[in-house]
Structure 1
Amino acid sequence: MVPQTPPPDDHNFDWTAAEADVKNVVDLDKARTTRRTESGDTHFEVTLDETPERGGMPVEAPPSGAAGRVPIVPVGWSTWPNIKHSIRQTLAVFGYRCGFHALRSPKYAILAAFWALVGAFRLAGRQIKWWWVTEQYSLRQATADANDPAMWLKLHREVKATRTWRFIVLTTEALVIAVGGPILYATAPWWALALILVGVVAFLAHYGRPDDRPIITPATVAGRFRRVNPDIILRAYYAAGLGHPDKPHQQISFGSTMARDPSGTGSQVSIDLPYGKTFDEAVKARGAIASGLDVAISQVFITRDFSSHRRHTLWVADRDPLSQGAGRTPLLRCKPTDIWQPAPFGLDERGNKVEILLMWISIMIAAQPRQGKTFAARLLGLYAALDPYVKITVFDGGGKPDWRKFALVADRCAFGLAMTRDGDPAEIVLEALREIKADVQDRYERLSKLPVDVCPEGKLTREIARDPKYKMPVRIVLLDEFQEYFDLGDTSKEIASLLVYLVKVAPAAGVIFVDATQRPSGVGGGQVASQFISFRDNHQVRFSLRTGSWQVSDLVLGSGAYSEGHDSSTLLPSYKGVGILRGASDATPTVRTYLADADDAEKILIEARKLREAAGTLTGMAAGEDVARAARDVLADVRSVIERGETGAQWEEIATRLAGRLPEAYADTTAEAISAQVRAFGVRSVDIKRAGKALKGAKTDDIDAAITRRKAA
C-alpha cells in the first residue's frame, strides 16, 4: 500500500508542496500513457475525459515500498521466482497475440491488398494534383476577379515553371519504376522481393485506408475506465450535499494524496468532511457520489476511518469489482479444518479474503430465489464437515438436492416435508431440536461444575470439545428454507418455541446455527409469527444476497442497515453469490462467496467422512444408527396425567403435568399444542372448573371414549 503521511492536527493541507507533487506525477502519467499507446497495449475508441486542469491529482501514483521509495529493481524482476513468472507471463501474452493474428492473417492480407489498390489510386491522384499546382488556382482567380493582369501573368509564369520542374520529377519517378522494377525482379533474391512487396503494400494500404477502418484487430483491448482526480471528487461531494465550496467551514478537504490501491484495481483517497458532517451521511449519499463521479454505484466504496467520525476512505474501482466471481473454494484441498479458526467465505469488493469465525454465533442467510443463498450456507457447512470433531445436523425444509450428500456426515438430517423411510421429516426435526435443547441445558450444568483449571470461565474450550470423555463436541445446525418449519400447523408451535430458545441460548454452549431462508418477512400470524420474528432477529451475523426491496434488506441485515447505506436490493440480478455481510466484523463488506458446486461438495463430504471414520467421530444417521424416536401416544399420555377421581383437567394443567412427568417428549409443549392434538381424536374442549374458575380442558370420559374408539378401529 502507498504510505500516506497523516495530516497535522489542524488538518491544514500544504497545497504548495502538493502542487509540485502534482506536476511530477502528471509528467509521469503522460509518459506512461505515451508508452502504452506506442506499444499498442491499450486501445481506446473514444476519450472519456479531457486532461485535468492544473491542480488535479492523477490516480496512477508510482507504487512505494515500506520506506516510501520506489524500488530500484521492479518487483517483477526482484527475485528468481518473480523473474520466471514475469517471463512466463510475457511469453504467454506474446504467444496469444501471435496465435490471434496468425488465424486472422488471410483476412488481413485481403484487406491490405484492397486498401493498397485504393491507396495506389489515391497516391496517383495526389501526385497529379501536386504536379498541376492546384493550390494556386484560387490565387489566379482572385487576381482575375480584381482585374490585375500584371499579377495574373506573374502567377501564370510561376505556375508554368513549377509544373515543368515537377513534370521532370514525376517522369524520373516513372522511369525508375518502369526500368528498375524489372531489373530488381530479375536480380534480387526472393526474400528481398517479398520484403519490398510487403513494404509497398503496407505503405499503400496505410495510405488508402480510412482512419476509422483498421486492418489489424487488436488482440488485447484494455477496458475503458474513468480517471478520478480531486476536482471530480470535490464536484461529486458538493453535488451530494456533503459540503459547499463557498460557505465558511463547509469545504471538503483531503487527508491524503490520491493513489492507486495495492491491488491496482482502483483509486483511493482519504476524505475529511466538514465539521458536523458524519461518516453515516457519506454512506447514505453513496449513490449521489457515484453520480457525481460519473461511475456506477457498484464502483464506489466508503470505508470508516476510526480516527475521526467525519473522515473516511473513498475507493473508486476502475470497473465493477462484483461482476467477477471469487473462484473455487479453497476447501477443495480437502485438508482437515478447525472450527475454532475462521472459515474462508469469499472475497470482498477489493479482493481481500473474507473469513467468518463460526464459534459463538448464529448466522442468517437470506435472498431471493436463485441468488446463491443455499450455496453460501452450504459453504459454511462444508467447512464444519472437514473438522471431524464437529457434530452436524442438517435440515432442509425445501427438500432440494443441494444438501442430500450431507447424509454422509450428518448426525441427524431431514430433507423436505414428505414422509420418507426415515420417518416424518417434521417429527425428526422436532425430536432433534428437543435433543439439542436437552444437550445445551446439560452442557451448562456440567460446565459450571468443572474445575477452574479445566474450564477457566465456565465456557466450552477447544480442549473440552475435542476430549471424548466430556461428550461436549461443537455442534452446527444447518437449516435451509427454515420458514417451512414455521408453517406446519400445530407442530410448528413447538418447533418455533425450540428454535427461538436455541438461537438465543445455544451458541454460547458451542452450538452454531446457520439458517437460510427466501422469506425473511415471516409467516402467517399469531404466536408462531411472533416467534418467527424473534428467531430471525436473534442472529448475530447476517448475510443478505439480492433482495426485492430495501425493506426486505433491512429485515435480513437488521434494523438500521438501510440508514447506514447497506441495501442488498441494489445488487444486480447478474450477481450470483454476492451479498452484504453484517455483524461478522467491524466492517460491512460486500462479499463474493467462493463457489462449491454439487460435485465439489460431494468430493469434500466424501473426504470429510473418511476423516470422521479415522477419528472415530461418525455418529447418528451417518453411522447407520436408528435415531427415529418411538411414536408417542398423546391420548394415553394425557390420560395418564389425569389423577384418579378427577372428572377432567384444564389444558394448562395437562401441559404442565406432561412437561413435568414426561420431559423428554413434552418439555416445550403448550396448552394450545396439547389441545389441538387431543381434539384431533374427537375429544371436545369444554369448560373445566378449578378453584371457582372455569377454563377450557378435556373430560376424562371423553378421553376414555376416544381411546376406546381407536382400539375398536
Structure 2
Amino acid sequence: MNPTDHNDTPESTPETTAESAQESATPAGELATVHPLRTRPDQHESTGPADGESAPQVVEGRIISEYEYRLLTDEKAQREWRYAEYRKQAVWLARTTRTAVTHDRTVSTLKFVGRNTLVYPTLGAGVALKRWRDTHGSSRYERMMRAAELAGDHDKLADWEARDVAEKARRHDRAMDWVRSPWQLAKAAGAVTVCAAVLLLVLGLILWVGGKGEFLGPISAVIDAIAFAVWFVITYGVLLVTGVTAGVLTWLWNLGRTSQAVPDLFRPAAQRNLDDVEITPSIVVTALRDLRISELRKKIEAMEDRGAAMLGPIRIAGCGVEFDIHLPSGVDTEEVKRKRRKFAENMGRHEHEVFLTTPPTPRTVRVWAADSGELDKPIGPSPLVTDPTLTADMYSGRAPWGMDLRGDAVLMALLQCHLLITGLSKQGKTASLRALALWLALDPSVRLYIADLKGIGDWRMFKPVAEKLIEGPTDSHCIQATHMLEWGVEEMERRLQAFDGDKYRNGVPRELAKPGGPFAPIVLLVDEAQQAFMNPAKDDKNIPFGGQTSKSRYFMAARKIHNQGRAVNVVLWQGTQDPTNDNLPKLVREGAHIRAALALGTESQSRMALGDKAVDGGAAPHELRSGLDKGTLVVSGEGVPLPAGQPSMTVRTHFIDGDDSVTVIDRAVAIRGGTTTEKTQVEAPPERDLLDDVAEVLAGDDVKATDVAARLRRLAPSHEPYADLGATKLKEALENVGVPVRQKDGTLTVRVRHLVNALADREDEKGS
C-alpha cells in the first residue's frame, strides 16, 4: 500500500486524547519519538464490565521511520515521492527502449527490412530510369562528351558528338513516323476488321452448308470470347494487378540489389567484407575522390558519370586486378602516386598490395591491386628443383627466377649482362643471386669464379663446378677477391686483343664460347661486395685494395670489367648490403646492366640501387616490407622481361634451399662431364716457338713490327706472352734470339732475310 493510501475524512480523524499526549512523555520517549496516529471512533467506546471498572485496552501499531511518518502526514513529501517515482519509471523506460533499439538483432532486422523494402526498390527504379533515358534519349552521349572534354581527349569528343547527332536524327525519324502512323493504323485496323468479318462469314457459311453449325456461329463465338475476356479481367483484375505489381517490384528490387550503390548504413556486414575484397569501378572512383586532391575531386564531381569514364577495363592479372586511370587535365600523375597509401586504404587494401606505375600514355596511372592476403602466400618451387631434365644455355636460354605480380614466370636473359643485387640484411639477397647462378651452373660452357665474403657456406655447394671459390669475411679474403677480379681484367684484355673483328663482325659467336673455347663465358661473382669496397688493407706499394677512388684496386678492376668485359663474355655479378655511396660507388652501380633491389630503407637507397629513371617510373623497393617481403625484389635493366613501357617490375623470386642447391649442382657436375675438383687457375697454354710463329705470319714478306705483333696475337690468342706484345717488346724478343729489327722508312720492320739467317744459325747450332 502506498504512503498516500489513507482516509482523510473528518469523521475518521478525531483529535487524540490527553492520555495519548501524556504517553508521549513516558520514559519510552527517551528511546524514540512517539507520534500519535489517527484512531477510529470505535476505539473510544467502552467495552468494560458493568461494575464501572475500566478494562485494559489493546493498542495496534507498527514502528515506522521519520521519513515514512512524513509520507503519511505531509502532502509535500508525498508529492516529492510521486515525482521521484515518475523519474525512475522514465529512466527505466528510456534505458529499456535504448537497449532494445540498439541491440544487434534489432539493428540487423531494421537494416534488412529497410534494405529490402525501401533501398533496393528505390535504387532499382533509379537504375531502370537511367537505362530508359540512355536508351531513348541523348543523355548517354552528353555524359560521354562531358567526360571526354574534361579528360582533354578531343578525338573521343568528336566521336561521341557524331554519335549524338546520328541518334538525334534517328529519334526525329521515329517521331515523324508517329505523326504519320494514326491514319495508317486506322486504315490497317479497318482492313483487318473487314477481312476478319469476311473470314468469319465465309467460315459460318461453310459450317451452315455442311450442317455443322449456324451461319453466325463463328461471329457469336468471337463475341463470346471477348465477353469472357472482359469478365475475366473484371473478376480477377485485382489479382492480375497485384501479380504484375509484385513482379515489377521484384524486378526493381533485384536491380537495386545488384547496383553496388547501397549506402553503407544499410549494408550487411557480409557484403561490406565482400566489397573490401572486390575492386569495382565505384570503389576506385570513390578512392580517387577521397585522395584530398582538390582539382581531381572537382573534375570527378563535374563529370556526368561521376568519374567512371576515367577508368579503363578492370582485368584479372594474376592474384589481383589491373586497370588504367586516365586522369583529367590539370591533375599530375605524381600527385596520385605520392598518395599510394591513402589510395590503397581507400580501396580496402594494404599499401604493399597496391602498385602504381606510369605507362606510356600521358596522364595515365596503371594500378595493380592484389587480392587481400595473396602477396603473403609463398610462390611455388623453382623449375630447377621440380624439373630434373632442365638444362641451361647462356646464349639462347633464359633463367627461371620467379614470378611477377600477375603470376607469370620471370625468365631472365643473362648473356653478357653485368648484375647488381642489393638490399637490407636478411631479405634474401644471397638466395636470389644463387638462384640465377644455379641455372648458369647447368651450362657447361660457363666458368664460375665465386667470392663469398660472408663465408658461412652459402656458396659451398658450388665447389665442384667453380673455377675458384673464396669463402671468408676477413681482409685477406677481400684481397683474394680483388686478385680474382684483376685476373678477370687480364683475361678480358687478352680476349679483346685476340678477337678477330674482321672475321666475326657480330661479336663473339657461340662457336667460340663452347665449353673449353677461348671465349667461354666467365662470371665473376662477389657476394657481400661491400666488404671489398670497405677493405682498409694496402699492398706493398701502399695502394689500397678497397675504396671508391681510382687508386682502389677492387674499384678499378670492377670498373674495367664493366666498361669492356661484356663484349668478350667476361661479366661481373655483385651482391651488396644496405647500399651507400661508400660501400657501393656510383660508377660501379651504374655499370650493371641488370639492377635489382630487395627491401630498402629509404627512397635515396632505391635511387642508388635502381637509378632515378626506374624510381621516377614507379619502382619503390623502399616500400617493400622488411622481413615480410623476403625474396621479393624490384628489378630493371637489360635482360629483364619488362612490360611494354615499364622501367621496372616486381619479382617474387624462387627460394632454393641448401639441400636442393646441392641436388642442382650434382646435375651440373654430371652435365659437365663429372668434373668434381675445384680449379684454381687457368690451364697452362702449350709452348710456342717465336721464330717459327714469326716466320708463319711473315709469309715471305717484310712486315711492320706492329703488324707482326697483331698477327701473332691472332695466331695464338691464348698464348700469354703475345697478349700484350707491341713493336718495342717484339723488337727486344727477336733480338734476343738473333733477329735484328731495324727501321725502314722510319718504322720498325721485321725483314725476312734476317729471320731466315736466324733460323739457319739455329739449325747449324743444333747440327753441331
How many angstroms apart in 1 are the aligned matches of 2:333 and 2:526? 36
Aligned to 1:466, the other structure's residue is in SS state coil
Alignment partner, residue 569 of structure 1: 622
Give unpaired runs (5+ residues) of structure 1.
Answer: 1-6, 18-23, 34-43, 51-222, 524-528, 629-662, 668-713
Alignment partner, residue 436 of structure 2: 380
Cα 1:248–1:233, aligned 2, differ >3 Å: closer, same or farther? closer
Residue 443 of structure 1 is aligned with which of 474, 477, 495? 495
Which runs of structure 2 are paired with 1:20-35 in the superposition (5 Å)? none
Q: Which has the larger radius of gyration?
A: 2
Q: CA deviation at 1:312?
A: 4.0
Q: CA deviation at 1:569?
A: 2.5
One-letter amino acid matched to 1:485: A
Which runs of structure 2 are paired with 1:169-248 in the superposition (5 Å)? 225-240=276-291, 241=293, 243-247=295-299
* Deviating more after overlay: 287-296 vs 471-480: 287-296
How many angstroms apart in 1 are the aligned matches of 2:259 and 2:346? 27
Q: CA deviation at 1:448?
A: 4.1
Contact kept in structure 1, 2:281 and 2:308, CA below 8 Å? no
Alignment partner, residue 652 of structure 2: 592
How many angstroms apart in 1 are the aligned matches of 2:312 and 2:616? 30
The yes-or-no answer on 1:431 pairing with 2:654 is no
One-letter amino acid matched to 1:487: M
Contact kept in structure 2, 1:303 and 1:313, CA below 8 Å? yes
Contact kept in structure 1, 2:586 and 2:608, CA below 8 Å? no
Alignment partner, residue 526 of structure 2: 479
Contact kept in structure 2, 1:243 and 1:273, CA below 8 Å? no
The yes-or-no answer on 1:10 pairing with 2:155 is yes
How many angstroms apart in 2 are the aligned matches of 1:47 and 1:623? 65
Q: CA deviation at 1:286?
A: 2.4
Cα 1:606–1:248, aligned 2, differ >3 Å: closer, same or farther? closer
Identity %: 23
Which runs of structure 2 are paired with 1:454-533 in the superposition (5 Å)? 455-457=504-506, 459-466=507-514, 468=516, 470-488=517-535, 489-490=537-538, 491-492=545-546, 493-523=552-582, 532-533=585-586
One-letter amino acid matched to 1:592: R
How many angstroms apart in 2 are the aligned matches of 1:49 and 1:466? 62
Alignment partner, residue 607 of structure 2: 554
Alignment partner, residue 581 of structure 1: 635
Alignment partner, residue 414 of structure 2: 358
Contact kept in structure 2, 1:239 and 1:292, CA below 8 Å? yes
How many angstroms apart in 1 are the aligned matches of 2:377 and 2:255? 31
How many angstroms apart in 2 are the aligned matches of 1:558 and 1:259? 31
The yes-or-no answer on 1:545 pairing with 2:768 is no
Contact kept in structure 2, 1:391 and 1:473, CA below 8 Å? yes
Cα 1:348–1:456, aligned 2, differ >3 Å: closer, same or farther? same
Q: CA deviation at 1:581?
A: 1.4
How many residues are treated as equivalent by the alignment? 416
Q: CA deviation at 1:386?
A: 0.7
Q: CA deviation at 1:415?
A: 0.7
One-letter amino acid matched to 1:338: D
Aligned to 2:601, the other structure's residue is in SS state coil
How many angstroms apart in 1 are the aligned matches of 2:382 and 2:495? 34
Q: Deviations 1:385-427 (Å, cap 9, x if unpaired)?
A: 01111111110111121111111101111011459xxxx5344
Alignment partner, residue 371 of structure 1: 427
One-letter amino acid matched to 2:272: D
Alignment partner, residue 47 of structure 1: 270
Q: CA deviation at 1:548?
A: 2.2
CA RMSD of aligned residues (A): 3.9
Aligned to 1:413, the other structure's residue is in SS state strand
The yes-or-no answer on 1:261 pairing with 2:316 is yes
Contact kept in structure 2, 1:253 and 1:272, CA below 8 Å? no
Cα 1:338–1:243, aligned 2, differ >3 Å: closer, same or farther? farther
Cα 1:226–1:271, aligned 2, differ >3 Å: closer, same or farther? same
Q: CA deviation at 1:361?
A: 1.8
How many angstroms apart in 1 are the aligned matches of 2:443 and 2:452? 21
Aligned to 2:272, the other structure's residue is in SS state coil
Contact kept in structure 1, 2:379 and 2:654, CA below 8 Å? yes
How many angstroms apart in 2 are the aligned matches of 1:385 and 1:558? 30
Please report the TM-score for the alignment, with normalisation by the length of structure 2: 0.49
Alignment partner, residue 445 of structure 2: 389
Q: CA deviation at 1:555?
A: 1.8
Identify the structure with bigger relative contact order (alpha carbons < 8 Å, sequence gap 6+).
Answer: 1
Cα 1:535–1:276, aligned 2, differ >3 Å: closer, same or farther? same
How many angstroms apart in 2 are the aligned matches of 1:311 and 1:383? 38
Cα 1:444–1:234, aligned 2, differ >3 Å: closer, same or farther? same
Q: Deviations 1:450-488 (Å, cap 9, x if unpaired)?
A: 51xxx232x1222321274x5100111211000111232
One-letter amino acid matched to 1:460: V
One-letter amino acid matched to 2:595: R
How many angstroms apart in 2 are the aligned matches of 1:562 and 1:467? 40
Contact kept in structure 2, 1:363 and 1:542, CA below 8 Å? yes
One-letter amino acid matched to 2:586: I
How many angstroms apart in 2 are the aligned matches of 1:561 and 1:250? 35
Q: CA deviation at 1:304?
A: 4.2
Cα 1:253–1:394, aligned 2, differ >3 Å: closer, same or farther? same
Aligned to 2:663, the other structure's residue is in SS state helix
Q: CA deviation at 1:257?
A: 5.7
